[in-house]
Amino acid sequence: MGLKRKKGIIVAGLILVVAVFATLLPTIVNHSEKDLIRKTMEIALIKQEMPDYEMIMDKEGIILSTENIDPKIIPTLPGVNLIMLSPDEIQEKANKEGDFLYLRFKKVEIGIFKSSVSLDNVWIRSKDSDKVYLSGGGFTLSFYNVLGRWIESPIR
């Protein structure tokens, strides 16, 4: 087999690998985003590890902002009534009903081997409110892809 033919086979093989990877990558990343959002929501609301969770747990529904997140990928969680509202709708609700805590994804960075998701529990104040709040909070979770499974970093 000639050198020219070997190079041609190698190039064809590399093109095939790149094509397969380029085809599968969007599916893998999209699937990962859904998985990591679910894991984050479970940690925050099922395991109740969200800072000041006790201040939102007894509500008819937990307000989740659609800011920075596609509402289609938000999971349904057992025993949790999530109400998804836009930032404008959240402000309107506060103006009508008063100040309240709501959840907001601050950052969602999905990589192939490492990802991080930041979820905040923040106050929205009505337009007439002059209160200052020291409660609320949030966390950033880091995940590492270990042999196709997302493992949460022990460091938050």
Helix (H) and strand (E) counts in the chain: 2, 6
On whether the CB atoms of residues 82 and 64 are closer than 8 A, the answer is yes
Average the pLDDT over 32-58 and give the result.
91
Which residues constitute the domain of residue 30? 3-152
- Using DSSP's 3-state secondary structure scheme, residue 102 falls into strand
Domain count, the chain: 1
On whether the CB atoms of residues 136 and 51 are closer than 8 A, the answer is yes
pLDDT at 131: 92
Q: Kindly give the residue spans of alpha helices, DSSP state H, lying in the chain.
A: 3-41, 87-97
| Res. 7 pLDDT band, cuts 50 70 90 | low
Look over the chain and give the mean of its residue pLDDT values, rounded to a whole number: 86
pTM above 0.85, yes or no: no
User: What's the sign of the alpha-carbon dihedral 29, 108, 112, 16?
Assistant: positive
pLDDT in tens, 102-113: 999 999 999 989
Average the pLDDT over 137-152 and give the result.
92
Rounded Cα distance between 136 and 120, Å, is: 8
- pLDDT of residue 20 exceeding 80, the answer is no
Alpha carbons within 13 angstroms on the beta-carbon side of residue 61 total 9
On whether the CB atoms of residues 75 and 38 are closer than 8 A, the answer is yes
Rounded Cα distance between 116 and 59, Å, is: 28
| Res. 147 pLDDT band, cuts 50 70 90 | confident
Cα dist from 20 to 10, 17, 71, whole Å? 15, 5, 29
